[in-house]
Structure 1
């Protein structure tokens, strides 16, 4: 599998808290910020700092470090964890939105297997496409399981 879908020992050790909501999160690679920040935000980026990702849906902060942060408006793409719109990407590499995942679950299509196949073929680039800087399969699985549960109850 591609490195983006594996957790590294370094990212496991580095834990920070969001300066706005105090949510505890793990670090994100600098390449993620460089790929996803809009130009005016990128100009403010300190490449020597260690950043973390805040997944708290009620907090506008996306990336933070001691003394500075970047919020939703500083990114080129909407952030799955912070935007519940149906057309927001859940899988940034292969174009799976909430809406597309819902339709697939209604048609008995398994997007998890499709995405996993792409990952195993070394096609994913989560570290530069996904704002959280790591593999999206957990997010995709959570959404698919939610929809399958709703469909089975109907």
Structure 2
């Protein structure tokens, strides 16, 4: 398996979300194949390049030229799109917002834990995380927001 925390070599012009018009983050096709529901997967066009919409106010998760997949098209909630406490921040190791808050209040370090797992080559973010890349930045940002 490729190192999920390396930046994928996807080079092309930026894609803007057709709903919110913000620049999206390119994702590998394997991410969509792994996370789209059985009803949405047949609509995937494997010759297109897809991007992830980071805008939390936008219902679009993945988009390409002329095609979108919304939150309901995914098998799980998306951290950037759903503020619930039981939504994963780290999809590979089950760190939800709630679990991170509890860990921080118990003087545990979720960032260190996830870092160790990434360094041990145990993550699979390209198939587990809807953004298609390492969640360590999300975990770090969320931990900092607790301390703030």
Q: Describe how 1:71-150 pairs up with structure 2 within 5 A.
A: 71-149=70-148
**Residue 10 of structure 1: how far off its partner (Å):** 2.5
Query: Aligned-pair RMSD on alpha carbons?
Result: 1.1
For structure 2, which runs of at least 5 residues remain unmatched after alignment? none
TM-score where L is the length of structure 2: 0.96
Secondary structure of the corresponding residue to residue 139 of structure 1: helix
Q: Contact 2:28 / 2:132 at 8 angstroms: preserved in 1?
A: yes
Equivalent in the alignment of 1:152: none
Equivalent in the alignment of 1:19: 18
Q: Contact 2:25 / 2:54 at 8 angstroms: preserved in 1?
A: no
Equivalent in the alignment of 2:4: 4
State the alpha-carbon separation in 2 of the partners of residues 78 and 65 from structure 1. 20
Q: Deviations over 1:74-126 (max 9, x none)?
A: 00000000000000000000000000110111111001110111111110000
TM-score where L is the length of structure 1: 0.92
State the alpha-carbon separation in 2 of the partners of residues 15 and 5 from structure 1. 21
State the alpha-carbon separation in 2 of the partners of residues 14 and 27 from structure 1. 10
Moved more, 2-11 or 77-86: 2-11
State the alpha-carbon separation in 2 of the partners of residues 80 and 41 from structure 1. 20
Aligned length: 147
For structure 1, which runs of at least 5 residues remain unmatched after alignment? 150-154
State the alpha-carbon separation in 2 of the partners of residues 68 and 30 from structure 1. 14
Give every structure 1 segment of 4 or more consecutive aligned residues whose post-TM-superposition deviation is greater than 2 Å. 8-11
